[in-house]
Structure 1
């Protein structure tokens, strides 16, 4: 069972698409938001949840005070479940679901985003994640935060200039990288 942990939507249970996603566990999500809470205030933040899956990360951010969240999911079944989860939380005015590939979305968005979650399927190549991070840079606000979740057995992601690792934490089969934008992309 996936549920919203804290804030306005606390305790709401979210549906999980059968066989199409690997949702971030409640334990890892709580750890991510604890890391963020120690470093930034989510109040008024503009959030993007790339590879949204269930939408739990983006919805949780809004529950904890973010102004808005856009949830990007290419899989049609998962996007439908995300839309249902947004409805369960009655968050339609602050959370938008976009059914497209992450690359297509990033090619057409200006941002700026204060916080971005990147939690692709573990079989997505590290080079592909690095390319997404490079595409994301122009859409990041100054000093924005980026949370990348990968499998603990996946190859390290080469970070583009402009992003710096602040924290790396391992949780079972997952590794969470908390990154911060440190300068303007050229």
Structure 2
């Protein structure tokens, strides 16, 4: 895996073969960040990355200049991998990593974010509840953006906060606005 742009462009990291996360493909990630690069200023962003997995999305935001990135991951092995990789990449200053349950984090945090990225496991039964929980607990700042990665099994087009879908192969990014 690699970081596709920014100050760390081209840096590679490799999760162990036993890793159970389904990372966002480089193709989908590159296209997503091209879209974002044309619409937002990364240098002032406060980002929340839910279901961190390999940490790939968090590293991208840091590489592009996000001032603060918080990453939440439940699996200890994944958390440890993200923490070690962040240290190797020199991201300890602006990447905070939390080991914990995303649903509990959403309920308890009092922070607000400019952008939230959520990539739950595709087979997580409660995944479709994540957008509503984020809006219920008001985690986004005014005009904040939620990007939810999912498979074609979910459809949010009727959601009141829905903006658009972007599809890259089997990966769908649904955009919501606060």
> Under a length normalisation based on structure 1, what TM-score does the superposition of the two structures give?
0.87
Q: Distance in 1 between matches of 2:70 and 2:104?
A: 14
Deviations 1:60-116 (A, max 9, x none): 111101101011100111111111111121100100110001011111112210111
Q: Distance in 2 between matches of 1:16 and 1:114?
A: 28
8 Å Cα contact 1:21/1:53 also seen in 2: yes
Match of 1:184 in 2: none
Match of 1:129 in 2: 127
Q: Are positions 1:119 and 2:119 aligned together?
A: yes
8 Å Cα contact 1:134/1:160 also seen in 2: no
8 Å Cα contact 2:128/2:154 also seen in 1: no
Match of 1:172 in 2: 169
> Under a length normalisation based on structure 2, what TM-score does the superposition of the two structures give?
0.91
Q: Are positions 1:147 and 2:143 aligned together?
A: no
State the aligned residue count: 175
Task: State the 1:42 CA deviation.
Answer: 1.4
Match of 1:106 in 2: 106
8 Å Cα contact 2:162/2:174 also seen in 1: no
Structure 1 residues 159 and 111: alpha-carbon distance in aligned structure 2, compared to 1, 3 A threshold: farther
Q: Distance in 2 between matches of 1:20 and 1:176?
A: 21
8 Å Cα contact 1:115/1:145 also seen in 2: yes
Contiguous gaps of at least 5 residues in structure 1: 182-186
Deviates more, 1:49-58 or 1:167-176: 167-176
Structure 1 residues 71 and 171: alpha-carbon distance in aligned structure 2, compared to 1, 3 A threshold: same
8 Å Cα contact 1:68/1:94 also seen in 2: yes
8 Å Cα contact 1:70/1:97 also seen in 2: yes
Task: State the 1:16 CA deviation.
Answer: 2.0
Q: Distance in 2 between matches of 1:74 and 1:157?
A: 25
Match of 2:155 in 1: 156
8 Å Cα contact 1:130/1:158 also seen in 2: no
Task: State the 1:158 CA deviation.
Answer: 7.3
Contiguous gaps of at least 5 residues in structure 2: none
